[in-house]
Amino acid sequence: MELNFGTNSLDNFCSDQDGLSLKPLRCPAPFLLKTYDLLEEGSEEKDGIKIVSWNEEGNGFVVWSPAEFSELILPRYFKHNNFSSFIRQLNTYGFKKTSSKIWEFKHEKFQKGCRHMLVEINRKKCEPSVFPQYLKSCSEENAMTSSSVEESINNHEILMEENKNLKKERLELQMQIAECKALEMKLLDCLSQYMDTSQNKVRRL
């Protein structure tokens, strides 16, 4: 079974140590904590050969032996033993592979001795571009060489599929709009605050 590393909570707020002032403190994502801890918890070795470690500069890490890493390390920290799933997560959090020769990964905010910086690493949101590719949902099935009944059923299914996709797309667009509106509010808020501040500044002078 999986080890438990203190913070398993999925939300990003923790209570303060003193238990009184409940100022919301950000917690790093579980994936980041586990990956960091995995590097700190002893230089992982097998038969005297390093499996995974921080790099020389301490500003990245190297998986020296992906096979051993997947088999021995991953299942101790995650619910799987697939190297590719681990990579997928690294990408999700914006890590970059630095070399085509070795499995070295870097992220500006992922550095040896800087566990506190992990909070600044954010999961990438999937933000569709302003005009999404509605070309994708277009159905391009030509294989209707059978009787007209089948054909009609087939057409029906294609229509249903397209319909379903359109509804999904609509929802996504509506959510995008909501996000835009939220951002507008923030900007307006920011603008008005700025105006206040600088007016005061002028007044004081």
Partner DNA sequence: GGGAATATTCCC
Contacting residues toward a copy of itself, per CB under 8 A: 1, 75, 79-81, 127-128, 130-132, 134-135, 138-139, 152-153, 155-156, 159-160, 162-164, 166-167, 169-171, 173-178, 180-181, 183-184, 187-188, 190-191, 194-195, 198, 201-202, 205
User: Closest CB to DNA among 54 and 77?
Assistant: 77
Nearest to 108 by CA among 87, 124, 126, 122: 122
Q: Which is nearer to a copy of itself, 114 or 195 (CB)?
A: 195
- Report, in this order, helix, strand and coil percent for the chain, each rounded to 5: 45, 10, 40
Identify the sign of the CA torsion 118, 13, 76, 86. Answer: negative
- Kindly state whether residue 156 participates in binding DNA, applying the rule CB under 7 A: no
Residue 40 interface partner, choices a copy of itself, DNA, none, CB cut-off 5-8 Å depending on type: none
Using CB under 7 A, which residues numbered 30 to 59 contact DNA?
30-31
Do residues 50 and 64 make contact, with C-beta atoms less than 8 angstroms apart? yes
Does position 11 bind DNA by CB under 7 A? yes
CB of 42 closer than 8 Å to CB of 29? no
Amino acid, res. 26? R
Of the candidate residues 53, 55, 59, 92, the single one contacting DNA (CB under 7 A):
92
Instruction: Compute the half-sphere exposure of residue 91: CA atoms within 13 Å on the CB side of its CA.
Output: 7
Q: How far apart are CA 19 and CA 111, in angstroms?
A: 29
The entry of DNA, a copy of itself, none that residue 155 binds, CB within 5 to 8 Å by partner kind: a copy of itself
| Binding region for DNA (CB under 7 A) | 8-12, 29-31, 78-80, 82, 84-85, 87-89, 91-92, 96-97, 123-124, 126-130, 136
